[in-house]
Structure 1
Amino acid sequence: MPNTIIKFVVENKSLLTTVIAIAGFVLSLFQFIHSLWSKRTNISVSLETLCTLNVENKKSIKLGLIFQNNSSSPIIITKVSLLLNHRASYSCVLTHRWVAERYYPKHNETDIPITERIFSADFPISLQSSQGIFEIVLFDIPANIKLSKDFITLKIITNKKNKIYTLQVPKESKDLLSI
């Protein structure tokens, strides 16, 4: 038995070398493609809350967004733009502003009341691999602009790629905070 194996290897040495080389190349190519696929820009966005406020000749829109990095490499979100009718684009406010308050506790007679200030997103937002974050993104647009009641289109600008998302407006607030 061992003699037949040795004899087969000696007689077919070049064929075995070629088969092993091809198998190594295929495995290397598969690993390279898998690495590229897992490091691609893959971010998911969901709209949790929406609040509009009219102030003089401006409309302030507060979007509660959850950003999820689904890739294996870090992503930096540099800006979010609101697209209306695929023509007009309104950039978000890049610095953080005071947008809401959260009151603790619900029953004042049992604990000391605390007011927590909630600020909008401070760009750039850095997301490590498989990390998610909830941020309030603030837009200041002219007051005469009408928003769709069903869908909002956002353009997410990252350090790697720009992507357009159409998000469904929530029918009711999920009460994540007091906007």
Structure 2
Amino acid sequence: MTDDTQAGTGFYALPGDLMMWILIISELAVFGAGLMAFLSMRLTDPVGFTAAQGHLDATAAGINTVVLVTSGWLAALALRAGEAGQIARVRLLLVGAALLGGIFLWIKAVEYSSKAAVGINFETHPFFTFYYLLTGFHALHVVAGIVILALVGWRATPRNLEVGTAFWHMVDLVWVLLFPVIYLLR
């Protein structure tokens, strides 16, 4: 049996901060529960869910996927630059990641407003209740992630970079799960 209290083993081998990992795991559990509820409801009305899904813009969501994954790549590059002591490059990469996060939010806002323009809201169909809850909750995480990236850029220590980029990658991961389930699964 090993002793996980030694530095570099067990939980202590995780990059960043244990509390951030607890937050990330709990957020993944919340999104996972939301996706499971969505999929369970879909089983009760597959025809209605497929018809409602037809009102979504899968192309815009696909572009958003590329935008957010590219943002995550820039955050990963920032972490590497931080390890090399390149603080100016860290800040530039984090600004790029945050700007792409802003583009993601802008595309999502355009998508929401197009739904509102044709009268689609939370009450239109259970599909849209889940759509707005899951993608809206994710958008709030994008906003939080942008704030975290800004704070990390301001105080770019190795620990801050590890914590901030870990959160940003969780935001990426959640979208990579939401996108196919909500927009593509038929």
Pairwise TM-score range, normalised by the shorter structure: under 0.3
Select the structure of larger CA radius of gyration: 1
Higher percent of residues as strand = 1
Q: Whose relative contact order is higher, 1 or 2, with alpha carbons under 8 Å and at least 6 apart?
A: 2
Higher percent of residues as helix = 2
